[in-house]
A and B are shown apart, each in its own frame.
Chain A
Amino acid sequence: MQDVQERTITGSTEIGQRVPVGTTDYNRIVEFLYEEASLLDQIRLKEWSARLAPDLVYTAPLRETRGMSHQAATFVRTVQHYHDDYRSVMGRIMRLTGTKSAWAEDPPSRTRRLVTNVLVHTTPNPEEFAVVSYLLVTRSRFNFDDHDLISAERHDLLRRDGDSFKLARREILLDQAVIGTPNLAIFL
């Protein structure tokens, strides 16, 4: 099982030992992810932003359909869907909360962020953990009777902050080459 994470694309983070499921650190990390999902679903964006590290890097690569022998090329990190940092994420939050004209989310989507399959590894920095999670967002808009579904694998770097954590890096590996929702006006 140790090589599960090596198959995935982990960006620049060096991965150490697995933090076993059920340990204190693991449980706190899962709690962080659950709380975060809950804040975002309830559109408590300013409270969510308090959990972001000032050196945050927040990205979502493009996906391309490529043959079995060219799977590395399926992740595109030049042009991406999100290419943000702390300042730009705060700018997005300011637009959503501080204006009366952020129409993409006014009226807001009703979302449900389902977070599962959490695997945690240590990193060379004892205060930081590499966290992989699966994410399924159901997004209900207006009076439409179907949901937009956004499925992804997230690769996070969480930094210890007292009893909790700060999000220092998030890469969202979306499954769709053509995104099936009309915009990403929500955080993933």
Chain B
Amino acid sequence: MLTKTSPTLADGTKIADLVMPDTREVRMRVLSDPEIYDLEMERIFGKIWLFLGHESEIPKAGDFVVRDMGSDSVIVSRDKEGQVHVMLNVCSHRGMRVSTLDGGNTQIHKCIYHGWAFRPNGDFIGSPVERECMHGKMTPKEQLGLKKARVTLYGGLVFATWNIDGPSFEEFLGDAKWYYDMLFCRSDKGMEVLGPPQRFVVRANWKAAGEQSAADGFHTLTLHRWLGEVGNYSKKGEGEGEGGDLSPEMYGVEISSPHGHALRCIDLARKIRRMTGLDPTELSVRQKLDALPPVGMTKDMVSQLYNNLSEEQLAVMTTMPPQVGGMFPNVLFGFVYIPQADGSVVGSLTMHAYVPRGPDKLEFVNWIFAEKDAPPELREKMLKQTIQLFGTSGMVEQDDSDTWPHMTLSAKGAMGRTMTLKYQACYETGAPKGWPGPGIVNEGFTKDDTQWHWWMYWRDLMTAEA
């Protein structure tokens, strides 16, 4: 257990009091206060595992990309042995950024200022004019390397933390791993990116996006109503509601974790019924997988699932697959079945990181994925569809990116900052009978439980012993 302390803000407010378990409210100043932001950089982004990209972005020895861990720029690189390293993009000499690029390939990262040079694993190679010993005789060469983060690859996804002796990545994922494995570790060859990520800035606090990614289902009904009006969900089966009503999509099972991870597992029964004309409860797991393969997979790929997942996981995958959710603190995943006009379904696989850029600005980074052995025509369809619905020009997410800035502005008001975000639709309905998966499980209509757990973990971290 984390040891609780009571850090206080300059005006005497205790951080712990910003999140109010009795009434399930959060003080809105958390979305604008620079003092809180600075603490987050230290206590959250300086401590826990952060998502930086995918190893398929740097396939060859010497390949690197430049990414962010909170407010710090880092180099993510691959060495000659194939190992992936993450190191602070700050020259150990005078603090210049060692790389000013978005990526490239090199065996020597040489600082353009005074020429100190580093290997792809961050080790110090040397400084110019070796015989004059420009790097001095005080700090030994072994200690002049770039500051290294601890790295984990999970399904090819690259995660890093500055907390060298802290919890393992597996401990960090906890019970949620059972579900994430269904997304990231389901196939034999794994996923790859379809290209570098889209990037754009939103003038909003990172938590406006972060808390939404903890499986906010409710906002879909209003903010994304167009999906039911003219979009991909407007064609409905008999007795499935009318017009812009998206509420039938809101039933399922929601998973959360004491570490703020969250997944919305959405009922697949209506889709399978529509595709097959058969009652899904009468179909075997294999029949369901063949009728509607998991997002981004084809019928030919279905047998791979049996090599990588348990029977229990397959049961969940064919009834209530995780489709959208997040990883604490700033990651969203979308593994979404998108209905097409011709009655078929095309999958969309995305991950976003909401990189903090100050108390009122975030950088939206959007990666698009496919399974490595998905056929080219499927990859092309998934790529186009994902770009048209998510990310920079995506018809779904362009509405989100216009919402978060207004929440952030509200939180700057002298009165507004004292108001609260409410998570009072917490219903703790529990797991459906016979549910095989671990974690905090709640069935039925979407609700606030997962987002509330996100805030509770934020509070844990912000008040933990430094």
Contact = CB atoms under 8 A, between A and B. Distances in A.
B438 interface: no
A45 to B, nearest CB: 14
Contacts of B387: 79-84
Interface in A86-116: 88, 91-92, 94-95, 98-104
Contacts of B195: 62, 76, 78-80
B383 interface: yes
Contacts of A84: 384, 387-388
Interface stretch (B1-9, B134-142, B158-166, B392-400): B392-400
Given A66-B102, A76-B196, A104-B402, A182 B203 contact: yes
Interface in B180-229: 193-203, 222-226, 229
Contact of A101 (B193, B226, B394): B226
Chain A interface residue number, banded:
35 or more
A101 B229 CA distance: 9
Interface string B358-391: 0000011000100000000000000110011001
Contact of A66 (B101, B230, B392): B101
B157 to A, nearest CB: 17
Contacts of B395: 91-92, 95, 102
B399 A103 contact: yes
Contacts of B231: 95
Contacts of A65: 100-102
Nearest to A84: B388
A21 interface: no
A76 B194 CA distance: 11
A64 B19 CA distance: 40
B401 A101 contact: no
Interface residues of B, number: 44
Given A95-B226, A102-B226, A179-B201, A184 B388 contact: no
A64 B401 contact: no
A7 interface: no
Given A79-B383, A81-B393, A184-B398, A62 B196 contact: yes
Given A65-B102, A79-B194, A178-B363, A88 B388 contact: yes
A180 interface: yes
Nearest to A180: B201
Contacts of B308: none
A182 B401 contact: yes
B114 to A, nearest CB: 19
Interface string A161-188: 0000000000000000111111111000
B392 A179 contact: yes
B244 interface: yes
Contact of A102 (B103, B203, B384, B399): B399
A83 B195 CA distance: 13
Contacts of A184: 392-393, 398
A157 B288 CA distance: 46
B248 interface: no
A10 B264 CA distance: 44
Contacts of A98: 229-230
B104 interface: yes
A88 B202 CA distance: 25
Contact of A67 (B104, B222, B225, B229): B104
B403 interface: yes
A99 B200 CA distance: 26
Nearest to B203: A182
A99 to B, nearest CB: 4
Contacts of A183: 200, 392-394, 397-398, 401-402
Contact of B230 (A95, A104, A181, A182): A95
Given A76-B195, A76-B196, A95-B231, A182 B102 contact: no
Interface string B330-359: 000000000000000000000000000000
Contacts of A178: 199-201, 363
Interface string A18-61: 00000000000000000000000000000000000000000010
Interface string B220-253: 0011111001110000000000001000000000
B405 interface: yes
A32 B223 CA distance: 36
Contacts of B392: 81-82, 179, 183-184
Interface string B288-328: 00000000000000000000000000000000000000000
Contacts of A60: 393
B225 A101 contact: yes
Contact of B393 (A78, A82, A141): A82
B388 A104 contact: no
Interface string B92-117: 00000000111110000000000000
- Looking at A79, A80, A98, A178, which has the most chain B CB atoms within 10 Å of its CB? A79
A88 B397 CA distance: 16
A91 B387 CA distance: 13
Contact of A182 (B194, B202, B368): B202
Contact of A83 (B103, B229, B383): B383
19 contacts: A64-B101, A64-B103, A64-B196, A65-B100, A79-B195, A79-B196, A79-B197, A79-B387, A80-B387, A99-B226, A99-B230, A103-B223, A177-B199, A178-B200, A179-B200, A181-B201, A183-B397, A185-B393, A185-B402
The 8 closest A-B pairs by CB, nearest first: A78-B195, A79-B195, A183-B398, A179-B200, A104-B398, A184-B393, A101-B225, A182-B401
Interface of B: 100-104, 193-203, 222-226, 229-231, 244, 363-364, 368, 383-384, 387-388, 391-395, 397-399, 401-403, 405
Given A66-B104, A99-B225, A183-B402, 20 more contacts: A64-B103, A66-B103, A67-B101, A78-B195, A78-B196, A81-B391, A88-B384, A91-B230, A101-B223, A103-B223, A103-B403, A179-B201, A179-B392, A180-B200, A182-B200, A182-B201, A182-B398, A182-B401, A183-B392, A183-B393
